Structure 1
Amino acid sequence: MNSRERFLAAVACEVLDRPPIWVMRQAGRYLPEYRELKARSSFLEMVRTPALAAEVTLQPIRRFPGIDAAILFSDILVIPEALGQPYAFRDGGGIAMDHRIETRAQVDALAGSDSIPDRLSYVAEALALVKKELDGSKALLGFGGSPWTLATYMVEGGSSKDFEKIKLLFYSDRATFEALLEKLTEALIVYFRMQIAAGADAIQIFDSWGGIIAGADYEEASLKWIRRIVAALPQEFPVILYAKGTAVHMAEQAASGIKVLSIDWTCELARARRALPPKVALQGNLDPVIMQTTPQIVAREATRLLVHMRGARGHIVNLGHGITPQASLENMHALVDTVCGWAGSRRAISRIRRNQPNP
């Protein structure tokens, strides 16, 4: 069984000797080869240039051969940009949109979903390059932001601390809010279909700001739009949903038609496994901070997770959020090696039960 087969078997909740592993943001700033490339090309240049995007996508696969899936190097904000709202990075950090979406007229002026194949053709080209390079050995993941998460950037005008503007739009002008979410949903459907046609084995939807909308409003603000996207994609195609800070909605998310629910680090994964339908796979969920400790601690905590999930079908090892730039290469090696070498050994289980670090 190669890595691609292992990943798809985990998605299908089949019995495996070990779970597959990949890491959110695995192509990024913690890798020296990425930093070298970025010194010559800006982030946006790398995203928009298929050969560069493919190279960055493949960098972690080359450095850590045990990784089972490659995720395309891109950005969720290519969708607003394609619709007519460019973005840039602030000097002090964070995202700055070219302008804010404040009125219904601005929403109506956004391009339609028919603009996506042409304006984002570079994404399909990058996927095709990576697909050819992988040659079926690793799973290839495409991705995009959820309509709600994209809308937060578009209405706030960039990164936000309080998300006041998007919440005000949701509560006080629902018609304009829904018009914006309709446009984003239709654009994402076209975008994801394009990624699938280019060779993606699965799509991950990042609802990164799903946790900022409270209680029952999460359904109306975010989840119902995700349901529509999943229903519009090919039947049984693997969709992974990552929604930070939304553990209270896990049951509803699992019933949305997705194949994999990615859990952040605040929720015990084994408990989530017991609470959710066995046909929905789970992904996660080590705290990314662990990747800044030592290889011994990483191995210990990864083994603890593997022990807790031992015997559970449908587990894809990942972090509970993206790997940080401060993570060390030694720790990433320790994580990948621990998972790839896992066999549920009595020694490993005994060590975890004694709560002792690896030697």
Structure 2
Amino acid sequence: MSDNNFILPKDFPELKNDTFLRAARGEEPEHVPVWCMRQAGRYLPEFREIRAGKDFFDTCRSPENCCELTLQPLRRFPFDASIIFSDILVIPQAMGMEVQMLTGKGPTFTDPLKEPEDLQRLRAKVDVSKELDYVFKAITLTRHKIEGKVPLIGFTGAPWTLMSYMIEGGGSTTHSKAKRWLYRHPDSSHMLLKMLADVIVEYLVGQVAAGAQALQVFESHAGILGPVEFREFSLPYLRDIARRVKDRLKEKGQDVPMIVFAKDAHYALEELSESHYEVVSLDWTIDPRSARDRTGGKVSLQGNMDPCALYAPKEQISDTVRKMLEGFGTRGYIANLGHGLYPDMDPENIGAFVDAVHQHSKLLIKQK
């Protein structure tokens, strides 16, 4: 394969480990697959070395750097899936907003949305293939470089989560500025959420065309909404995105599993299980057996170990994993954390988590 063909989304290496994809579709592979949100991250010294002195979003715009950062955890741990290194805020950037990643502060919008008339500042029509081409190139390059070892997951932020960032101007504990819009400007809120959903659909379809083998939608700020607001301003858009992406992919003869992660939306498990996603990812506030009962076998489940459990001794990590697996069962289940890995975590403990999932799940399957 020439260097020119190497970056084209075709002739990808054959997939060697499909346990993640099989579990996403409700099957029981030979072991429960496992991966971690933020598995490419600052807990790895090699990650910090690559990122040293570089602007965060400049790194995101480099397909070579994104590929390398995505592959790093696979060299250390026998994960069963990988997720492309990127950021959910590339979508507001593509819509014309300026976002910086400031040390000690996190993502910061230089000019957040304040009133409904500010929506006129956003690009009315986003050329996703142009504005987010660097993400697609990173996916294609990584899909080749991963050499079929595990599937590659693409992702996006969900409309409400992105809307919150765009109005708050960064992280927030109350999200009061964004929620103010929901109560004072519901029509404009829906207008912005629809604009975001339209871009997200194109973005996700483009990721599959580039080589993504699964997709995850992060509604990270779901829990800041109450049940009524979630069902008006979040859930309809989550459903719409999944339905439209699947319709578009079907036209192309493509089909990939989709995962929805609505953090802290434990009140909406039943609705999420009927929202056109194959997998519902869970945070650590939900009991595994309760989640199985409430979703009624309609979807596969992913999660939900408390990330902080990885601070425990390795023996305790193993015991926590065993109990989690016993709760979820081994069919239609993908082991993960209830949120992302933290920067101060010991890589050896993450390795212990992965090994425990494989060992305990194989034993549980054998005992059936």
Query: TM-score, normalization: structure 2?
Result: 0.90
In 2: Cα distance, 1:264 partner to 1:342 partner: 21
Query: What residue is the counterpart of 1:250 in the other structure?
Result: 269
Look up the match of 1:86: 98
How far, CA to CA, are the matches of 1:16 and 1:198 in structure 2? 27
Number of equivalenced pairs:
346
Which sits farther off after the overlay, 90-99 or 211-220?
Answer: 90-99
Partner of residue 40 from structure 2, selected from 4, 10, 27: 27
Work out whether 1:77 is the aligned partner of 2:89: yes
Q: Give secondary structure in 2 for the equivalent of 1:233.
A: helix
Instruction: Structure 1: give runs of 5+ residues left out of the alignment.
Output: 350-359
CA contact (8 A) 1:72 1:141 kept: yes
Root-mean-square deviation (CA, aligned residues, Å) is: 1.8
Residue 352 of structure 1 corresponds to which residue in structure 2? none
1:86-105 equivalent positions in 2, closer than 5 A: 86-105=98-117
SS in 1 for 2:227: coil
Residue number in structure 1 paired with 2:344: 326
SS where residue 234 of structure 2 aligns?
helix
Deviation for aligned residue 1:343 = 4.4
Q: Is the 8 A contact 1:278 1:313 kept in 2?
A: no
Q: In the alignment, which of 298, 315, 321 is matched to residue 317 of structure 2?
A: 298
Amino acid at match of 2:181: L
Residue number among 125, 131, 134 corresponding to 1:119 in the alignment: 131
State the SS of the aligned residue for 1:282. Answer: strand
Alpha-carbon distance in 1 for matches of 2:119, 2:312: 46
Alignment deviations for residues 298-354 of structure 1 (CA, whole Å, 9 cap, x no partner): 1111122122233x42100000000111211110110111122234538x99xxxxx
Matched, 1:314 2:327: no
SS in 2 for 1:284: strand
Paired position in structure 2 for 1:16: 29
Distance 2:17 2:124 in 1: 34
SS at match of 2:38: coil
Does the 8 A contact of 2:303 with 2:336 survive in 1? yes
Deviation readout 1:208-229 (Å, 9 max, x if unpaired): 0011111221011111011111
Say which is worse superposed, 158-167 or 197-206, in terms of deviation: 158-167
Task: State which of 144, 152, 156 in structure 1 corresponds to 2:168.
Answer: 156
- The Cα shift of 1:16 comes to 2.5
Matches within 5 A, 1:72-221: 72-221=84-233
Query: Partners in 1 of 2:125 and 2:202 — Cα distance?
Result: 7
1: CA distance, partners of 2:53 / 2:304: 34
Q: What is aligned with 1:355?
A: none
Q: Percent identity?
A: 36
Please give the per-residue CA displacement for 1:150-201, whole angstroms capped at 9, x wherever unaligned.
0001011111121111111111111211111111010101111110100111
Pair 1:61-2:66 in alignment: no
CA distance 1:325–1:91, shift in 2 (3 Å): closer
Q: Quickly say closer, same or farther: Cα 1:134–1:184, change in 2 above 3 A.
A: same
Q: Could you report, residue by residue, the CA deviation over 1:225-280 in whole angstroms, capped at 9, with x for unpaired residues?
A: 11111111135531101111101101001111011000000111122112213230
Partner of 1:262: 281
Q: Structure 1: which amino acid aligns with 2:284?
A: W
1:2 Cα offset (Å): 6.7
Query: Following the alignment from structure 1 to structure 2, what is the Cα–Cα distance between the partners of residues 343 and 90?
Result: 41
State the secondary structure of the residue aligned to 1:114: coil
Partner of 2:241: 229
Deviations 1:120-154 (A, max 9, x none): 10000000011001233211100010000000010
What SS does structure 2 have at the residue aligned with 1:85?
coil
Q: Give the Cα–Cα distance (whole angstroms) in 2 for the partners of residues 269 and 3 of structure 1.
A: 29
> Following the alignment from structure 1 to structure 2, what is the Cα–Cα distance between the partners of residues 8 and 242?
17
Q: Rate the CA distance shift 1:225–1:106 in 2: closer, same or farther, 3 A.
A: same
Q: Distance in 1 between matches of 2:145 and 2:59?
A: 18
Q: Which amino acid aligns with 1:237?
A: V
